[in-house]
Amino acid sequence: MGGEVRARVFSLFYGDYTWSPVKARVLLSPNQVKVVVEKALICGIATPGTITFLPGKITMKIKVRTRKRDFGSALYCLFDEERLAQGTFSLKGYLTARGKEDPLSEDSTGEFHFKAGRGRVYRLTLLSKIFAVLNVTEIFKGKLPDLAKEGFAYSSMKVNAHFKNGVLLVDEGIINGDSMKIFADGRVDFVKERLNLTVLVAPFKTLDTVVSHIPLLGRVLTGKSRTLVSFPVRVTGKLADPTVIPLSPTAVGSGLLGIMKRTIEMPVRIITPPVKKGD
C-alpha cells in the first residue's frame, strides 16, 4: 500500500523560524515516508529538498538559494532586530544529513557560498567587539567607524564555508570595507553555540600612522612595492557574546594569510598593534 498527499500551507513553524509559503508532496509507502518539498521560503531564501523518514533513521537533502535579496529585511526576519544592515546579498548551497533523532548534529555535510554587494553594517556584535579591541590601540584610536551612528560601509562581502555535523567551517571570509579589509577563517558550532575565528584587519588609511608609531616598519611601507599592514585578533566563546583578543602574528595560519595575499595581490606584514599607554 502506498499513496501521495499534496500539501500547501501558508506558514510552517519550526522553533523560532517560519517558512512561508510551503508546497510539498508526501509519498507514503510501507517502509518509508518521503516528503518532497517543492517550495519553502524562509525570509525570502528558498530551501527546496527532500526529507525521508525510515524505521530508526531520518535523511534529508536540502538546497539553499536566493539572489539579490535585501540584506536588512532578511536579517530582521531571521533575528527580529531592526537596522542591522543594508544592501543586497546572494546565497547558494546544499545540506545533506542523516541520523536517528537530530540528523544535523549527528551526520551532516554541506557547502555554502554567500556574497553581498555594496552596503553598510549598523549593528553586529562580532564586528563591534573587534572594533572595541582595536580602538584602544595607538594606531586605530579614534579612527574606527561608529557602527550605531554611521555604520561600517563595505563594497563587497564574501563567505565560503562548509558544514559538518552541526559545525560551520568558514574556509574564507572577506569584507572589502571602504576604510579597511577584513579577513577571517575558523569554525562556528551551532550545537554548542560557540565560535572560534581568526580575523585579520587591514586598514587603508592608517599606514602613515603605523610608521609614526613603529618607525622600524617605515622601510617596508615605502619604495616601489608598498606593504599592507594587518592586525590579527582571535574571536572565541559564546555566539551571543564572543570574546576578542589580539593575536601574535605567529598564531595566524598559512591558510588565512594565503587568502589575504591572493585577495589584495600585494605584500602583507602582520603585526600586533601597540596598546596606548595608560589604557
pTM given for the model = 0.84
Q: What percent of the chain has pLDDT over 90?
A: 52
Q: Who contacts 209 (Cβ-Cβ below 8 Å, separation ≥6)?
A: 138, 139, 143
Q: What is the pLDDT of residues 38-72, one digit of tens each?
A: 999 999 999 999 999 999 999 999 999 999 999 99
Pairing of strands 228-238, 268-270: parallel
CA dist list (Å): 140 to 20, 73, 116, 208, 246: 45, 32, 26, 12, 13
CA dist list (Å): 62 to 43, 154, 243: 16, 31, 33
* CB contact at 8 A, 185 and 198: yes
User: For position 168, what pLDDT does the model report?
Assistant: 96
Helix (H) or strand (E) holding 187: strand 180-189
CB atoms within 10 A of CB 165: 15
Q: What is the pLDDT of residues 11-39, one digit of tens each?
A: 988 777 899 999 999 999 988 999 999 99
Pick from 119, 79, 10, 76: nearest CA to 240: 79
User: For position 150, what pLDDT does the model report?
Assistant: 84
Rg (CA), the chain: 22
User: For position 274, what pLDDT does the model report?
Assistant: 58
Q: What is the pLDDT of residues 180-196, one digit of tens each?
A: 889 999 999 988 999 99
Assigned C-alpha cell, 157: 562581502
119, pLDDT greater than 50: yes
Round the average pLDDT of the chain to a whole number and report it.
85
Could you tell me the pLDDT band of residue 120, with boundaries at 50, 70 and 90?
Answer: very high
